[in-house]
Amino acid sequence: MTLIGVDTGGTFTDFIVNDDGIFRILKVLSTPANPAFAVLQGLGQLDAGSCPVVHGSTVATNAILERKGVKTALITTVGFTDVIEIGRQQREDLYDLTYRRPRGLVPSSLRFGIPGRISSDGLEIEPFDREEALAVALAVQRSGAKSVAVCLLYSFLYPEHERAMQRVLAEVCPEVAVSLSHEILAEFREFERTSTTVVNAYVSPVMARYLSDLVAAVPASLRIMQSNGGSISAETAMRESVRTILSGPAGGVVGAAEVGRLAGFERLLTFDMGGTSTDVALIDGQLPLTTSTTVASFPVKTPMLDIHTVGAGGGSIAAIDPGGALTVGPESAGADPGPICYGRGKRITVTDANLFLGRLVPDRFLGGNMALDAPRLQPYFESLAATSGLTPVELAEGILQIADSNMERALRVISVERGFDPREFALFSFGGAGGLHCASLARSLGMKRVLVPGNPGILSATGMLLADVIKDSSLTVMLDAAVLTQATLEELFAPLEARGWAEMEGEGRFEQVTVERCLDMRYQGQSFEIMVPLNATASPIETFEELHEKQYGHRNPGRPVQVVNLRLRVAGSADKPRFPVTQTLTDIIPEAAQIASQPAIFDGVEHATAVYDRARLLPGNHIPGPAILTEYSSTIVLPPYAEAEVDRFGNLLLTVTP
């Protein structure tokens, strides 16, 4: 079956078409004013007819980051309307004496309280007041709010009050979108639950408009990538847009896990460098999942792949700060105007620095479909070099060193700071700009191996072809783990499983459906939980204590253990693309593979550098550095201290010496 993956990035929108194992790829410049234009442009160029599409979108993310969501109201239990503003006591910047908490998404004038109270045991102790609810619904209508988040106390145990409020809102203001907390996040911790529901209400109408336009223009089915590594229907994504906030980066991690597994690497640090940002993640045999994420200072507790993002990409802008120091990013030139070498930009970027140092081939960018203007760089580099007191070459290398330092710190956050040694992992490099920096990053981290897949610039789109359809659900239970029996677990999980199967039926038909159960557990009195998968070989308490010791370095045998939340994942697996593989290896590089040689500068020294067409290399070929390998979606640079070999899947395996 033909399937299309589409990933919208800050600079490029990427496409991959899988037609029964034959792949076609395409990159077009993104259209930030309306991302749908680039998507439709690419689909038109591919002429794929009525093929199903899986799409990773940045619309929800950008709506939060740029605060371009809709006017949103909040309805909560009377007396709790300020929970969303009070939040938690911690400061994001402890030593900033001028720190001010970012402005919330819902001002006090749009926060409304209604009577009705549920106990912590899920019992109704004060009934729903329809008259008060009508008055609040009328106030919401008068306020001009386009969306409303309903988050009532303990609704995850007794959701009837939220459903009653939804019915009242449908009567009074049916045009207003409604997000119910028990549907978005049926868990305790009132602040995080309210924040997650508010974020969903804030971005869902924006996402709904965007997806409605695409659904009308795409003749076949449209699925949207979720932050948890699975996909959902466009209709579900319109209602629960908070689940799509990291959809693009999630596709990359899913693709990296599968390609890495096929190549024999179970432990990976993924490095996805695009035009605007860099996303990194740690894979230790399985996809990294978290339920504690902050987006633009707003907590979001829906399950997401654990991805760390920094503002460092090919389009990151270099500048001199007021103290005279050279800085790079987080501001990006994006797709418009783009880097100087794209022909319109006027501020030096990381891409410009790579080109200035001879590490990009001007007439081979995007497979020769987009020529880079190298002569245009000289006056800009001379001007900024004079301001900084450096030579133009020193300036260019300084820009790359600073960009590398920013990305190295991100990789250390997900590895060293969590007790993992990067040297025990392989660096999995992808994204349009990743191949330019992966060898130097690996060297800085002491990593010896780097894996670069085929078509690395569109791996996030490839991951969308590999993604299962996933439904995650949860429920707070607060139980003593010692008295938890298998029969009790079956009874507790039954409603979640019934809902999961019903939702999966609405998503389509699948070759295989799997169900995974997890428990959020903690020692009694702790503030944070560990996600514990249920398995038949060990008791939940034994598994919890093993994970606790691995994560924190100790365990407390005999201390009471509490089950806080139930978690259920229902995954539907459809037919996935198979990657071509060959058993025939050769060390003879085809003559047509080396297409040129050009000077490139590494560590201040100019080297004669061979230029290869990666598509013409064969499995088993060995390429010493310095070298530049060009392909349609990316350029891979081998400095003098690196060499590469093509494996049987067409991946590049880089070996980096200290």
pLDDT of residue 1: 59
pLDDT tens per residue across span 496-523: 999 999 988 878 777 788 999 999 999 9
Contact 476, 156 (CB under 8 A): yes
CA distance 369 to 494: 55
Counting residues of the chain whose pLDDT is more than 90, the rounded percentage is 72
Beta bridge partner(s), residue 300: 293
Q: For the domain made up of 469-573, give the CATH fold.
A: Dna Ligase; domain 1 (3.30.1490)
Q: How confident is the model at residue 85 (pLDDT cuts 50, 70, 90)?
A: very high
Q: Is there a contact between 518 and 569 (Cβ–Cβ < 8 Å)?
A: yes
What pTM was estimated for this model as a whole?
0.90
Domain ranges of the chain: 72-207, 469-573, 591-656
CA distance linking residue 545 with residue 538, whole number of Å: 11
Residue 557: asked if its preceding bond is cis (omega within 30°), the reply is no
Separation CA 512–CA 575 (nearest Å): 10
Q: How far is C-alpha 599 from the geometric centre of its chain's CA atoms? A: 37
Q: Any bridge partners for residue 570, and if so which?
A: 471, 515
Average pLDDT, integer, range 164-180 = 97
Distance of alpha carbon 357 from alpha carbon 18, whole angstroms: 36
**Interval 120-136 mean pLDDT:** 95
> Average pLDDT in the 351-378 region?
92
Helix (H) or strand (E) holding 146: none
92 Cα distance to chain centroid = 22
For residue 142, what are its two tokens?
A: 């008068």
**Which segments of 415-485 does DSSP mark as H helices, in order?**
434-445, 459-466
Tokens of 502: 């019903």
Quick check: bond before 330 cis, omega within 30?
yes
pLDDT of residue 558: 87
Neighbour count for residue 381 (Cβ, 10 Å): 22
In this structure, the strands spanning 627-630 and 605-613 are: parallel
3-state secondary structure of 2: strand
Task: Taking the CA atoms of 516, 517, 523 and 529 in sequence, report the sign of the dihedral they define.
Answer: positive
Tokens representing 311 are 């503002």
What is d(CA 635, CA 360) in angstroms, rounded to the nearest whole number?
7
What digits encode the pLDDT tens for the residues 607-628?
999 999 999 999 999 999 899 9
Contact indicator for 432, 455 with CB cutoff of 8 Å: no
